[in-house]
Structure 1
Amino acid sequence: MTDVIVTRGLVKRFGRVTAVAGVDLRIPAGIRFGLLGPNGSGKTTLVRVLLGLVHATAGEVELLGEPMPRRAARVLPRVGAMVEGPAAWGNLSGRANLRLIDAAGPGGGRGRRQRVDEALERVGLGGIDRRPVRAYSLGMRQRLGIAAALLRAPELLLLDEPTNGLDPRGIGEMRDLLVALNAAGTTVVLSSHLLGEVDALCHRVGVMDAGRLVLEEDMTVLRAPTGRVLLRTPDPAAVVAELDGRVVERSGDLVVVRHDDPAALNARLVAAGVRVAELAPERRSLEQVVLELTGQGADRVDTSGNEARR
């Protein structure tokens, strides 16, 4: 499978601060990829380097098989992106904004009105009036930014916090849109702190912490059973007695058992006359994975000892 994004030893420093530290990343074509991590972990800086918005201090970047930023003029028309929130001319309407953005792309003005109308319709803004963008809600601005990213039917879509400002219905609509785009052949890469959305949407995730890529894995692997079974029973003492050494935790009617085959475990307990109310393999959540791998984030400030809060 072809990789649409490749980085090798990617480093980005701002003075003495290392925002991206030796990232080796490969994202294959045709998937939905989520980039996760706490605030300040380097997610947005990485996306900006991928797009050539800032230059790497060291390392290499390839987008759609081309070196960046050297081939940016050839690559970027094939990429749709929204980074650090939607940009717009606030005194102009949404349609006027999209027409100006489209005019900067290749191919001249042929089909511009249709492209703009189709992009607005896809993000739920087909009925917008002539109000200036400065009068839009945050959710409307977000939808407009995504419409701008979709104008040229991109092969690769890079979105930074695409559901920011959307209500629950809007988040669901955005998820459906990204799934449909991906099904039509667009590779979708989104940077987000909303673990539930990434969990529901993405095939593969990367986790960043302090500028480093600390995990890159398929969701099917992360969701795999842990080798433990969660068991609820009115007879926890009988379970402990029957399984002798396999019980690793007990709390009320919940018993955690080390076992690879839940069906075999259930059959053994039923045969021994132990009542089983509920039984399921334990699986780690995406939230557990991310919390295990990452620090507290750059937006938290703690005190220690008698030091005063400033």
Structure 2
Amino acid sequence: MTVIRTASLTKRFGRVTAVNGVDLTVPAGVRFGLLGPNGSGKTTLVRMLLGLVHPTSGSVELLGRAMPRHAADVLPRVGALVENPAAWPHLSGRANLRLLDAAGRGGRGRDRKARVEDVLARVGLAGVDRRPVKAYSLGMRQRLGIAAALLRGPELLLLDEPTNGLDPRGIGEMRELLLGLSASGVTVVLSSHLLSEVEALCTRVGVMDAGRLVLTEDLDVLRSPTGHVRVRTPDPGSVVGLLNGQVVHRDGDALLVRAPDAGVLNAQLVAAGITVTELSAERRSLEQVVLELTGAGSDRVDP
């Protein structure tokens, strides 16, 4: 099943094209990371997926239904956090979640209290007191926004910068929460510029630049071996002599060797009596991939 499908999706604000002809497909069950520099169009794309912004042209399908035409049927099955978490600032977190649950389900809701307590516990706010949301820290507001996104037990979770304002422990807790939701069958889509978080969480990524989707690929494929092996040895001269031109770079006792199989290379060096203290296949990082595909970003000002 495909949970997100867009075709030639475009959004213009006056003379500015924020999203430009995006064709995106996200299958059910993946953890999908939408990457790109600030101003690349990530948030505008997410808002169009949810029907919060209408496209200039192109189409959106969410959970197999056209958006925004079928938003009333689709959105109850979707949890979302876009930009800053919304809340009634003079009310407590619990009161906010109860009102949101009532708005979504209607009526008194026999199990409302249990649902609210469950999502508060899942995001680390089980012990929150009655203080109003306006007195919350940024991290607490972010946790509350994610709790609101989980309130309806969504099939699809769309999160824009979900770890914004969280400390390192909070980021780790949120990662574990999202991994658990994914294991239970929820499709997780997150938009972020934090490459390390996407690399640690996602199975598939899309890269945006200047409004265009310039790449979609499985993370394992992007980070496949480059055909080079990093070798560290106390006898680098012997390695250079043995491999006869396969060494493409040398820095002291560290060498970069052109070799398709790290295991075969290791056996060759050991058989030649060369001591190897470190050996690993070189892989491209997600940061390298994104930097190769994107420009400087919209918050840079050059002459």
The one-letter code of the counterpart of 2:279 is: L
CA distance in 1, matches of 2:106, 2:131: 28
| Secondary structure of residue in 2 paired with 1:228 | strand
The equivalences for 1:57-136 within 5 A come to: 57-110=56-109, 111-136=111-136
Alignment correspondent of 2:27: 28
How far is the alpha carbon of 1:31 from its aligned partner? 1.3
Alignment correspondent of 1:300: 300
Aligned CA RMSD, in angstroms, stands at 1.0
Q: Which moved more, 1:259-268 or 1:57-66?
A: 259-268
CA distance in 2, matches of 1:122, 1:278: 42
The equivalences for 1:122-201 within 5 A come to: 122-201=122-201
The one-letter code of the counterpart of 2:29 is: G
Do the aligned partners of 1:38 and 1:298 also contact (CA within 8 Å) in 2? yes
Q: Give a deviation string over 1:2-59, Cα, whole Å, max 9, x none.
A: 1100011111111111111111111010111111111001000000000000001111
Do the aligned partners of 1:85 and 1:161 also contact (CA within 8 Å) in 2? no
The equivalences for 1:226-305 within 5 A come to: 226-303=226-303
Q: Which moved more, 1:107-116 or 1:6-15?
A: 107-116
| Secondary structure of residue in 1 paired with 2:299 | coil
Using the aligned pairs only, state the percent identity: 74
Alignment correspondent of 1:40: 39
CA distance in 2, matches of 1:254, 1:212: 39
CA distance in 1, matches of 2:108, 2:238: 76
How far is the alpha carbon of 1:242 from its aligned partner? 1.2
The ranges of structure 1 where at least 4 consecutive aligned residues each deviate by more than 3 angstroms after the TM superposition are: none
The one-letter code of the counterpart of 1:260 is: P
Q: Which moved more, 1:91-100 or 1:263-272?
A: 263-272
| Secondary structure of residue in 2 paired with 1:105 | helix
The one-letter code of the counterpart of 1:268 is: Q
How far is the alpha carbon of 1:291 from its aligned partner? 1.0
CA distance in 1, matches of 2:191, 2:84: 12
| Secondary structure of residue in 2 paired with 1:164 | coil
| Secondary structure of residue in 1 paired with 2:24 | strand
CA distance in 2, matches of 1:118, 1:238: 63
How far is the alpha carbon of 1:64 from its aligned partner? 0.2
Alignment correspondent of 2:211: 211
| Secondary structure of residue in 2 paired with 1:104 | helix
CA distance in 2, matches of 1:109, 1:180: 30
CA distance in 2, matches of 1:112, 1:102: 7
How far is the alpha carbon of 1:235 from its aligned partner? 1.9
Structure 2: where are the runs of 5+ without partners? none
| Secondary structure of residue in 2 paired with 1:59 | strand
| Secondary structure of residue in 2 paired with 1:208 | strand
CA distance in 2, matches of 1:19, 1:86: 22
How far is the alpha carbon of 1:107 from its aligned partner? 4.8
How far is the alpha carbon of 1:157 from its aligned partner? 0.4
**TM-score (norm: length of structure 1):** 0.95
CA distance in 2, matches of 1:165, 1:290: 23
Q: Give a deviation string over 1:117-162, Cα, whole Å, max 9, x none.
A: 1111111111111101000000000000001001100000000011
Aligned length: 302
Distance 1:28 1:227, change over 3 A: same
The one-letter code of the counterpart of 1:144 is: L
Q: Which moved more, 1:232-241 or 1:154-163?
A: 232-241
The one-letter code of the counterpart of 2:136 is: Y
The one-letter code of the counterpart of 1:41 is: S
Q: Give a deviation string over 1:145-186, Cα, whole Å, max 9, x none.
A: 001001100000000011111111111110111111111111
How far is the alpha carbon of 1:241 from its aligned partner? 1.5
CA distance in 1, matches of 2:202, 2:289: 15
How far is the alpha carbon of 1:85 from its aligned partner? 1.6
CA distance in 2, matches of 1:217, 1:108: 44
Structure 1: where are the runs of 5+ without partners? 304-310
